[in-house]
Amino acid sequence: MPKITSETLWELAAADVEKRQSGVGEEERGAEPSDRTVFLMGSKAGGKTSILYRCLDKDEPPKPTLALEYSFGRRTRGHNTSKDIAHLWELGGGISLSDLVQIPISPSTIRSLTVILVLDLSKPNCLWGTMELLLQTAQEQIEKAFHQSQQKAGTKHQTSVQQKHVLPKDHPDRELVNPFPVPLLIIGSKYDIFQEFESDKKKLISKTLRFIAHYYAASLIFTSIKSESLMSKTKVFFSHFAFGVDKGKSVSTDSTKPLMIPAGADSFSQIGTPPTSDVTSLHAKNPKDLWKKVYESIFPQETVGEQKELKDPAKDPQYSEPQIDVMRAQKDQELDQYKRNAAKSWKGLNLS
């Protein structure tokens, strides 16, 4: 008689995530091929495509991402003929097209989903705003997709989706973190430019991202496509989330060096407090708000509202097509002229 289990599908999925986070080897997971979804989002022109191509060993020049692009990666396990598949989605345009998260984050993908957030370290004045808006948008869509999945399955076991057992039971911050609903990897890109910053600024940016990553129980790594060593380490992290391979146990928390911190390998006590002399005057509501206020006091953020206004890729300079744009401008002028003439015609009518 087959063994009867009371575990729900979601509990089984949570257990699988726990295995992935703890680095369980392929032999223990069995030879059954995996099917995962990886969603990349982040800073505009932050190097997402370049990083993805290097992680997939694609030997071709990257092209600007047009809104939302899909690709996939495959990996054969040793001598086994079965292949692991990773469905890869990349969101272009920074925060301007964040509404498109509803396509890669759906009821059919959330149980095998990993989010990769790429933040441009060379542009600290855009970093917090980009991070905050994209993570909030993604989290809201994950919750929505989860509820849709629950309704479709006819189950009501949970009111919200959340990672289980991300931190070990003996971790001092286990009850203090707010785990992102699905596995999250934060990549700080363009480290080659970042390393030329003043030491105080590098320290603030590094500690802030360490806090954010640990707060969300996420992994964090700094990289540069100009460094083979850093890209090799980044590829290990990517392969862990995309194909389930062991991510290793290497940790680097020194702000004078590239950060590399797997989820759960950091702690609030090691990160310390925000580097400011007058914390009380900032009137923060919680630790995350305090870090935000300290960070923005040094790096004032660009207005997110102004950045998000542009939702039409046709108006984005990076997607310009001179000949088409000229014709479009001409048609827009003709339309405006038609509207003006029509308005005059209506005003001239005698409706008495």
pTM score of the predicted model:
0.78
**Same domain, residue pair 125 and 272:** yes
Q: With respect to residue 3, please indicate whether it lies within any of the assigned structural domains.
A: no
Looking at residue 78, its pLDDT comes to 65
| Number of structural domains in the chain | 2
Looking at residue 7, its pLDDT comes to 44
**Same domain, residue pair 125 and 259:** yes
Q: With respect to residue 25, please indicate whether it lies within any of the assigned structural domains.
A: yes
**Same domain, residue pair 325 and 249:** no
Looking at residue 242, its pLDDT comes to 94
Q: With respect to residue 279, please indicate whether it lies within any of the assigned structural domains.
A: yes
Name the CA radius of gyration of the chain, rounded.
Answer: 23
**Same domain, residue pair 300 and 326:** no
Looking at residue 275, its pLDDT comes to 81
Specify whether the CB–CB gap between 126 and 302 falls below 8 A: yes
Ordered per-residue pLDDT tens for the chain, 352 residues: 334 344 445 555 555 555 554 444 444 444 566 789 999 999 999 999 999 999 999 988 888 888 899 999 988 876 666 788 999 999 998 888 889 999 999 999 988 999 999 999 999 999 999 999 999 999 999 999 998 888 877 765 555 566 655 788 889 998 899 999 999 999 999 999 999 999 999 999 999 999 999 999 999 999 999 999 999 999 999 999 999 888 888 999 999 999 999 999 999 999 998 887 666 667 778 999 999 999 999 999 986 554 454 455 566 665 667 778 788 888 888 887 877 777 666 656 555 4
**Same domain, residue pair 75 and 43:** yes
Q: Which two tokens stand for residue 4?
A: 């009867």
Domain with residue 31: its CATH number is 3.40.50.300
**Same domain, residue pair 264 and 201:** yes
Looking at residue 28, its pLDDT comes to 42
Q: With respect to residue 195, please indicate whether it lies within any of the assigned structural domains.
A: yes
Rounded to whole angstroms, how far apart are CA atoms 187 and 190? 10
Residue range(s) defining the domain that contains residue 341: 321-348
Q: With respect to residue 162, please indicate whether it lies within any of the assigned structural domains.
A: yes
**Same domain, residue pair 332 and 277:** no
Burial of 3 (0-12, 13-18, 19+ CB in 10 A): exposed
Instruction: Please state the three-class secondary structure of the chain as a single string.
Output: CCCCCCCCHHHHHHHHHHHHHCCCCHHHHCCCCCEEEEEEEECCCCCHHHHHHHHCCCCCCCCCCCCEEEEEEEEECCCCCCEEEEEEEEECCCCCCHHHHHCCCCCCCHHHEEEEEEEECCCHHHHHHHHHHHHHHHHHHHHHHHHHHHHHHCCCCCCCCCCCCCCCCCCCCCCCCCCCCCCEEEEEECHHHHCCCCHHHHHHHHHHHHHHHHHCCCEEEECCCCCHHHHHHHHHHHHHHHHCCCCCCCCECCCCCCCEECCCCCCHHHHCCCCCCCCHHHCCCCHHHHHHHHHHHHCCCCCHHHHHCCCCHHHCHHHCCHHHHHHHHHHHHHHHHHHHHHHHHHHHCCCC
**Same domain, residue pair 259 and 344:** no
**Same domain, residue pair 51 and 77:** yes
Q: With respect to residue 236, please indicate whether it lies within any of the assigned structural domains.
A: yes
Specify whether the CB–CB gap between 38 and 87 falls below 8 A: yes
**Same domain, residue pair 167 and 238:** yes
Q: With respect to residue 314, please indicate whether it lies within any of the assigned structural domains.
A: no
Specify whether the CB–CB gap between 217 and 179 falls below 8 A: yes
Q: With respect to residue 132, please indicate whether it lies within any of the assigned structural domains.
A: yes
Looking at residue 149, its pLDDT comes to 86
**Same domain, residue pair 275 and 340:** no
**Same domain, residue pair 251 and 340:** no
Looking at residue 173, its pLDDT comes to 93
Looking at residue 100, its pLDDT comes to 92
